[in-house]
Amino acid sequence: MGEEVVHRGTEQIMGFSFNMETLYMTWLAMAIVLLIAFLATRSLKIIPKGWQNVVEIIVLWLHEQLDAMMGERGRFLAPFIVSLFMFLLVSNWLGLVPKMASPTNDLNTTLALALLVIVMVHVLGIFMKGGHYIAHFFKPTPVFVIINAIEEIAKPITLAFRLFGNILAGEILIVVLLKLMPIWMPIPAVAWLAFSIFIGGVQAVIFTMLSMAYLANAVKKEEEES
């Protein structure tokens, strides 16, 4: 884990620089999410057990949040929201495994996820509300279009940097503690590891909830917003 935090190897492919460690860890995170989905659904039971129980708790909780924020109009986004949360959760925790790095400790990953969400917001807003969605950028007066534009630009930046900064800082501190503490004093490192697991979960929740809040602005009806 320490080497990935300090140095990342890049390769040039067709004139573009690719961070191979991030790509490998991203593919691994996606594979783990698919494996969890397979384990949870391979033998569905009325009374859930094991992975089915864990995944059902997550899915039901996210569905409740979707209904609270968007109502029935937002239920079609449930697969995306669940997939996003599971990917973030697995990615945030991957870096806590020795010799591995979280995909989310790379700004390229977090910025790509944030841009994906914001692009979806505007596409859905135009598709579901048409001209009314574009008009809201000029409210309460046309002068506010500049302020609203700055706000929209800031959304993916704040989303990306919040997740990136917290995950990277957690991994760096674990590496520092492991190097500074003698082998017979593992308590501080173990305590910080437990705290990092908690922070990884919290950051996945925050990113997902903010994404739902942004998407709700594009999906909800005008009367629901008011």
Other beta carbons within 10 Å of 120: 16
Q: Amino acid letter at 106?
A: D
Cis, peptide link before residue 140, omega less than 30° from 0:
yes
- Could you report the per-residue pLDDT of 17-32, keeping only the tens digit for each? 777 888 899 999 999 9
Residue 117 has pLDDT above 70, yes or no: yes
pLDDT value of residue 157: 94
pLDDT value of residue 4: 44
- Could you report the per-residue pLDDT of 125-137, keeping only the tens digit for each? 988 888 888 888 8
Rounded to an integer, the average pLDDT of 85-102 is 89
Most confident of 18-22, 145-149, 194-198: 145-149
Residue 187 has pLDDT above 70, yes or no: no
Residue 78 has pLDDT above 50, yes or no: yes
- In angstroms, rounded to a whole number, what is the distance separating the alpha carbons of residues 108 and 23? 10
Rounded to an integer, the average pLDDT of 194-221 is 89
Mean pLDDT of the chain, nearest integer:
84
Percentage of residues in the chain having pLDDT higher than 90 = 41
- Could you report the per-residue pLDDT of 172-184, keeping only the tens digit for each? 777 777 677 665 5
- In angstroms, rounded to a whole number, what is the distance separating the alpha carbons of residues 216 and 14? 39
pLDDT value of residue 20: 81
pLDDT value of residue 2: 42
- Could you report the per-residue pLDDT of 148-163, keeping only the tens digit for each? 889 889 999 999 999 9
Extract the runs of DSSP E, i.e. beta strands, from the chain: 10-13, 16-19
Rounded to an integer, the average pLDDT of 199-217 is 93
- In angstroms, rounded to a whole number, what is the distance separating the alpha carbons of residues 103 and 121? 24
Residue 116 has pLDDT above 90, yes or no: yes
Q: How confident is the model at residue 186 (pLDDT cuts 50, 70, 90)?
A: low
Most confident of 35-49, 186-200, 206-220: 206-220
